[in-house]
Structure 1
Amino acid sequence: MSVFKPGVLADHQMQILLSDGAISADTPVSDGQIQPASLDLRLGTKAYRVRASFLTGRGHTVKERLADFTMHEIDLTSGAVLEKGCVYVVPLLEKLALPADMVAAASAKSSIGRLDLLTRVITDNGVEFDRVPAGYSGRLYAEICPRSFSVVARTGQMLNQIIFRSGKTVLDDDELRALHAASPIVSGDAVISDGLGFSVDLKPAQGDLVGYRAKPHTGVIDLDKFNHYDPSDYWEELRTKDARLILDPGAFYILVSQQSIVIPPNCAAEMAPYLAMVGEFRVHYAGFFDPGFGYSGAGGTGSRGVLEVRCHEAPFVLEHGQTVGRLVYEHMSEIPTQLYGLDIKSNYQGQGLKLSKHFKAPV
């Protein structure tokens, strides 16, 4: 098995994992699945409607848990509706046989998080969502729970992505300050504490549109249809003149960061929730930022982070400039052969406030 320098593995290093058998699949992995610092994972042929979300737990397999909790089985080969408010488990086409010194972490892809489609990877013997322990050998599974919209899902669709980590990857605050001093990674002042803090923009430079709130009763969304749906059928526009929003409990919002962010070629980043004590809401369902995001050498001049926000138990006043999250920067093991925004199709390079690619651009 190949040995890698500490850091997040790059595209060409994932190709080595494929050659070594550390990554395998029921059908061959395509080049289009391999991103600069992550691998897109594909849905398999069946979905299992289960009574509740679960973690497998030590000493148990996902198959054992499915035997306990499955209500019925759904064929995904021709497409099937996954209904809002229901929980499904889908065996993915990919399997892993990780080296003893390598771990992996998964996240929803950007467009999936923006649909409020909660999807998390689970494993045999798993005690955490979206985390694959060192040395794991076995199939990967996606737990899927549509929160705002029912969706049509099919075999081969890519809802989740996974990164591979070797050794120490996270930049500490001193390293992050040095990175910013060498070449700015954020517009304005860098607020650095266990990562790079960012705040919400409720005072746009033009107009008064600050975000979108998912409508409660809508049609289904086919995950294969891009630039297809009228946003007004699914989203309510949010406008404010006093730079604040009152978040409703249980509602889902698309907002945008005040800062523009840069991920240089030698780094990747993961969006992490801010301290729970700062408010009754959660930010982020899709969390990975590839090398080159917002980077000038990859066609960017900084890109703002789209925030997927869900309010919890009580109405909460969110104000312009309020810190809502942080980016944890990680070293790349090697610089990728492709950068986000330069060598690959990149839907969100240079983005501002933007819905998922399934929706037409607002008129």
Structure 2
Amino acid sequence: MTSFPGILPRQAIQALLDQGAIQSESPFDADQVQPASLDLRLSDEAWRVRASFLPGDRRVETRIADVVMHKLDLTGGAVLEKGCVYIVRLQERLRLPRGLNARANPKSSTGRVDVFVRLLTDAGAGFDDVAEGYEGPLYLEVAPQTFSILVRPGTRLNQLRLKTGEPPKLETRSVGVDLDGGEGAVVGFRGRRHAGVVDMDHIDGHDPRLFWEPLYAPRGELLLDPGEFYILASREAVEIPVDQAAEMTPIDPSVGEFRVHYAGFFDPGFGVDEAHGAGSRGVLEVRTHDTPFLLEHGQTVARLVYEPLTERPDRLYGEGGSHYQRQGLKLSKHFRAWGG
């Protein structure tokens, strides 16, 4: 274990798997370890609950008993309906060594279909944060907002970032929204309220026109309606240095009554492309609160917070292929290209 705070790279995560500090009820997938995070997988066990909760000083399954409506078996696939809250046990469990903690976040493809997910641990004091030295099971709260989703054992909805200590914040950058598409250009998408089911394991398998409405902003302005879900793009290209990682955090209420970006992890090497040199846009998942809000081109909507890795990962984001490297405005990988 390193002596200075930082995020663990891929090779260090793999070592934890090999040592049994991260365990699973089934063999790990070959592509499960990312450059600076570990994808987590659903098990076959889920519960429909009537309310979200934190376990306090109790076990998660003890608290589930207080709010459960019925139990689900995900074997063979099951639909999690929008507007409902579910708790799913994950296949992975932890035996973190002393000095190591973790933080979870939705995967990009999860946030882009407006599925709200949060990690739970036994006796956890907050969502998504895993205490130093935690030993025990992992659970995921899943709350689809716009589309109902089809999941099964092995579906990956969130990811875990492992850290030694509390890494320093190296830099914070503001992120603006791109609404300058020109006449007739699509600047974003709004989710259709009464669309079908999104199969979370079916890549390029859905017609985007059945799920999304294209948006235009000829004057560089877009009016956001309360309760609607939007996919927009950042004005700036985003690049993450090879020895750092970043998290996109929701903007504070002082600059707008909306939430941006459920899926906040950016791995080292994102947007770094020496062959093309153009970087990648950040895709913004936007949901308004209680009042309509008028967005203008270039307006600050989120912030990127950079943190150091303990060492450079032995594989960078996009090496071997990625759905989101060199992206512009882009829907999740579940949908075929717009107009295709």
Deviations 1:149-181 (A, max 9, x none): 001110011111000011342334xxx4xxxxx
What residue number does 1:315 align with?
Answer: 292
SS of the equivalent of 1:219 reads coil
What residue number does 1:358 align with?
Answer: 334
CA distance in 1, matches of 2:3, 2:13: 11
Deviation at 1:285, TM superposition (A): 0.5
What residue number does 1:23 align with?
Answer: 22
One-letter amino acid of the structure 2 residue matched with residue 93 of structure 1:
Q
What residue number does 1:240 align with?
Answer: 217
Deviations 1:235-286 (A, max 9, x none): 1111111111111011100000000010111011011111111111000100
Determine if the alignment matches structure 1 residue 149 to structure 2 residue 147: yes
Determine if the alignment matches structure 1 residue 268 to structure 2 residue 245: yes
Contact 1:293 1:300 in 2 (8 A): no
Change (3 A) 1:228 1:300: farther
Higher strand proportion = 2
SS of the equivalent of 1:14 reads helix
Deviation at 1:30, TM superposition (A): 2.4
What residue number does 1:48 align with?
Answer: 47
Aligned with residue 129 of structure 2, among 121, 125, 131: 131
SS of the equivalent of 1:88 reads strand
Deviations 1:312-331 (A, max 9, x none): 01001111110010111010
Contact 1:298 1:340 in 2 (8 A): no
One-letter amino acid of the structure 2 residue matched with residue 356 of structure 1:
S
Unaligned 5+ residue runs, structure 2?
Answer: none
- Structure 1 window deviating more from structure 2 (115-124 vs 220-229): it is 220-229
What residue number does 2:80 align with?
Answer: 82
Change (3 A) 1:339 1:159: same
Deviation at 1:231, TM superposition (A): 1.0
SS of the equivalent of 1:31 reads coil
What residue number does 2:160 align with?
Answer: 162
Change (3 A) 1:31 1:85: same
Determine if the alignment matches structure 1 residue 13 to structure 2 residue 8: no
CA distance in 2, matches of 1:48, 1:81: 12
Contact 2:257 2:289 in 1 (8 A): yes
What residue number does 2:65 align with?
Answer: 67
Contact 1:33 1:40 in 2 (8 A): yes
Aligned with residue 279 of structure 1, among 253, 256, 267: 256
Contact 1:266 1:291 in 2 (8 A): yes
Determine if the alignment matches structure 1 residue 226 to structure 2 residue 203: yes
Aligned with residue 293 of structure 1, among 262, 265, 270: 270
Over the residues paired in the alignment, what is the CA RMSD in angstroms? 1.4
CA distance in 1, matches of 2:2, 2:239: 29
Determine if the alignment matches structure 1 residue 257 to structure 2 residue 255: no
Deviation at 1:29, TM superposition (A): 1.8
Contact 2:2 2:310 in 1 (8 A): no
Work out the percentage of aligned pairs sharing the same amino acid. 53
CA distance in 1, matches of 2:166, 2:13: 18
Contact 1:36 1:291 in 2 (8 A): yes
Change (3 A) 1:66 1:339: same
Contact 2:90 2:140 in 1 (8 A): yes
Aligned with residue 208 of structure 1, among 170, 182, 185: 185
Contact 1:298 1:339 in 2 (8 A): no
CA distance in 2, matches of 1:97, 1:91: 16
Contact 1:299 1:341 in 2 (8 A): no
Change (3 A) 1:295 1:207: farther
What residue number does 2:281 align with?
Answer: 304
Determine if the alignment matches structure 1 residue 345 to structure 2 residue 321: yes
CA distance in 2, matches of 1:338, 1:204: 35
SS of the equivalent of 2:12 reads helix
CA distance in 1, matches of 2:45, 2:321: 29
Q: What TM-score comes out, normalization by structure 2 length?
A: 0.96
Change (3 A) 1:26 1:206: farther
One-letter amino acid of the structure 2 residue matched with residue 278 of structure 1:
V
Contact 1:300 1:349 in 2 (8 A): no
Deviation at 1:33, TM superposition (A): 0.3
One-letter amino acid of the structure 2 residue matched with residue 260 of structure 1:
A
CA distance in 1, matches of 2:218, 2:18: 56
SS of the equivalent of 1:32 reads coil
